[in-house]
Structure 1
């Protein structure tokens, strides 16, 4: 229990600081989110790939298991939405919030506090995989557009170029002069606190009115994602820390990108925004359960 609380309480404390800041000050949420998305998170990804001891076999296993989880969660959300006779906009929103976990600010943070630097390195790999899948297939799923257009959109993402930078630095036969690689390291160290503060600010300015749909969608994301990920991970042969990080990342609340994708490509924006906020709050109750079960596996 001490280990679980040590992983959750620091994250919750920083989110609450952001919540307080959002209620106390007039802040530009968009600017803070863009700084996190375009500067700090790419720096963390590049630095993790540059220094991480993770092997190609690890990355391949995580990619396959997450891809299967992503596809199955989308299919489950679609099937349940049809069974419950949801209108098309709500059905799209259910797919987005179920299939797109918050592997960024929330997932990276909890993985770091739960599993240390090795867990963070693997969580960064899952973040890259989820970004590739979500932004290359999400637009086509929600809008029905061409895959080529979705691919062009994906190639504009800073995370993709951060990934290539990390690999390029890793392949260099020499160290960068004047400690230039420290730039990435310093920026990476600021990613977790900034991302959590931004998450707290987002929650402080969101509606938390709970409806039956919000509870349904949040439960599907928080408990369904980890359950499916465990099954897919075991099926492809993941073990140990790889499996634990995969399950933890897939147990995260709905990603802010769910709302952005629905707003851009179709769906119920009001319900999506509520599920993102509510699942983020409920996650502090479900994640200790997930971590407790992972400690027994």
Structure 2
């Protein structure tokens, strides 16, 4: 277990450093959007492009991974909405709670962490999970969030907004370009390739530091809301347990059944997607929740709790799978 902690500790330490910098105002809160822009539009796309271009195209088109991951993501969304929706939590809050339960922090955290643990060969399955969550899971949850009539234009407008946001998101495009480069055996021109490599190398530390800063900003915003009483704990804790326990266990179980039924899912791909499911919640869900008028304080707490708890649960998941 100690060797696993030695690998994972620096990743969580960078998140803690970003959190402390923002909470202590060493990093101005006004600077966080700039960090987000650098990571989202420059560093991470370069890293995903390099992973995609260096991965055989067959791994990027692995239907077995997509099927197992997709079924589990939809099951987590359905179970979370069913468990949490009630008198105090309508479709809007339940849907974003489901999104934060089903959408791991794969882009900002998972890709570099899993590559460090399992090697660059893990890129194919991880990229498939990112693509599915950005295209399907996010769009579904945003559409469900409109079912309580909070928006007079309904689910259709939400779906259009989700698709427009997906179109403007550089990460799917970088994945697509990397896949095309892999299929065509295309290599960038020397100086351009070195520039992309430098940005890609900056992605991991910058993204992890930014996660911490975003969590600190969300925590500060949540403090302006009513205190976290027992009822509020009951709104947060079940989703945390779904994310860190139910989601990885479900992926493992469905993957094992799929293999038993003859689905061509390799052991390395199985381990990779289970560990993706064991990651904490994606930090960008907080921004989506704020945009669509959901209880962002609740979503921010879920993200923060899963990130803190994952410092202990994620190494345990790695040790269990090994």
TM-score by length of 1: 0.88
The reply to whether residue 184 of structure 1 matches residue 196 of structure 2 is yes
CA distance in 2, matches of 1:7, 1:120: 18
Is the contact between residue 3 and residue 114 of structure 1 (CA under 8 Å) also seen in structure 2? Answer: no
CA distance in 2, matches of 1:150, 1:85: 27
1:155 alignment counterpart: 167
Superposition RMSD on alpha carbons, in Å? 2.4
TM-score by length of 2: 0.82
Is the contact between residue 41 and residue 188 of structure 1 (CA under 8 Å) also seen in structure 2? Answer: yes
Give 3-state SS (helix, strand or coil) of 1:217's partner: helix
Is the contact between residue 217 and residue 275 of structure 1 (CA under 8 Å) also seen in structure 2? Answer: yes
2:249 alignment counterpart: 227
1:293 alignment counterpart: 320
Is the contact between residue 136 and residue 153 of structure 1 (CA under 8 Å) also seen in structure 2? Answer: no
Q: C-alpha displacement at 1:195, in angstroms?
A: 0.7
Distance 1:62 1:184, change over 3 A: farther
1:263 alignment counterpart: 290
Describe the superposition over 1:24-75 as per-residue Cα deviations: whole angstroms up to 9, x where unpaired. Answer: 3324111111221121111111111111136247632221111111100001
User: Moved runs in structure 1, 4+ residues, more than 6 A?
Assistant: none
Deviates more, 1:94-103 or 1:145-154: 145-154
1:284 alignment counterpart: 311
1:252 alignment counterpart: 279
Is the contact between residue 103 and residue 130 of structure 1 (CA under 8 Å) also seen in structure 2? Answer: no
Give 3-state SS (helix, strand or coil) of 1:75's partner: helix
Instruction: Structure 1 unaligned segments of length 5 or more: list them.
Output: none
Q: How does 1:102-251 map to 2 (within 5 A)?
A: 102-144=105-147, 145-146=155-156, 147-172=159-184, 175-207=187-219, 211-237=233-259, 238-251=265-278
CA distance in 2, matches of 1:168, 1:54: 8
Instruction: Structure 2 unaligned segments of length 5 or more: list them.
Output: 148-154, 260-264
Describe the superposition over 1:192-240 as per-residue Cα deviations: whole angstroms up to 9, x where unpaired. Answer: 1111111122233343886333222211111111111112222333331
Is the contact between residue 19 and residue 203 of structure 1 (CA under 8 Å) also seen in structure 2? Answer: yes
Is the contact between residue 92 and residue 262 of structure 1 (CA under 8 Å) also seen in structure 2? Answer: no
